[in-house]
A and B are shown apart, each in its own frame.
Chain A
Amino acid sequence: TQLLEQSPQFLSIQEGENLTVYCNSSSVFSSLQWYRQEPGEGPVLLVTVVTGGEVKKLKRLTFQFGDARKDSSLHITAAQPGDTGLYLCAGVRGNKLVFGAGTILRVKS
């Protein structure tokens, strides 16, 4: 059983569409991170959210941390083929970073 559940597992959309990826847990995290991973490479950090209810924007990407610090979402506006990749959420618990299973996003042109 994953401590962090991500949904959907796989998403295939057309260029220009909007999408939301969810990261849910029954546990509270001191902070939550979102990473993006491309084939053959390690994950790269996109953002860290720390405060319950926090919203961070990174160009067309909007990240939100739930009020209770148990869940988070990633919304992409007007997706582009360059957004294709594996999106991973990760929760901080002490000295450990626990990852969700990831969402594979494919944006078709």
Chain B
Amino acid sequence: NAGVTQTPKFQVLKTGQSMTLQCAQDMNHEYMSWYRQDPGMGLRLIHYSVGAGITDQGEVPNGYNVSRSTTEDFPLRLLSAAPSQTSVYFCASSPRAGAHREKLFFGSGTQLSVL
């Protein structure tokens, strides 16, 4: 059972480039989310989805797009990368929409550097 799989593990971009961070889960979870983790800031929610076809913004959505065409996949797109988007990105899922009483299953992260 793979759980939550994120690719790539590491990525270096130049300012202005675009790219997609991939996230897939094989647990049939309804809820999926993207966080970024910066030193001293903890994890901040970027976007989340409560089911296929439904997405919503988190705390820091600017500069990022998401889509949820299937239950399994929740890609995060950086439209025009900026140095401020240098961070470690985590994808997480949980069985049902609404994290109340549910644990989040995290991927192992993507370390992104924007030069």
Give A contacts to B, CB under 8 Å. 2, 4, 6, 9, 30-31, 33, 40-45, 48, 50, 88, 90, 92, 94-102
At the interface, yes or no: B114 with Cβ under 8 Å from chain A?
A: no
Q: List chain B residues, Cβ under 8 A from A98.
A: 45, 59
Is the pair B43, A40 in contact by a Cβ cutoff of 8 Å? no
Is the pair A99, B48 in contact by a Cβ cutoff of 8 Å? no
When A and B form their complex, which 9 residue pairs have the shortest distance between CB atoms, in order from nearest?
A42-B106, A45-B103, A101-B42, A99-B43, A99-B42, A97-B99, A92-B100, A92-B99, A42-B90
Give B contacts to A, CB under 8 Å. 4, 31, 33, 35, 40-45, 48, 50, 56, 58-59, 90, 92, 97-101, 103-104, 106-109
Is the pair B98, A95 in contact by a Cβ cutoff of 8 Å? yes
Is the pair B106, A43 in contact by a Cβ cutoff of 8 Å? yes
Known contacts A41-B109, A42-B109, A92-B99; decide if A97 and B42 are in contact (CB<8 Å).
Answer: no
Could you list some 28 contacts between A and B, CB below 8 A? A4-B42, A9-B40, A31-B100, A33-B103, A41-B106, A42-B4, A42-B90, A42-B106, A42-B108, A42-B109, A43-B104, A45-B103, A45-B104, A90-B43, A94-B98, A95-B31, A95-B50, A95-B98, A96-B45, A96-B48, A96-B99, A97-B99, A99-B35, A99-B43, A99-B44, A101-B40, A101-B42, A102-B42
Min Cβ gap B60→A in Å is 12
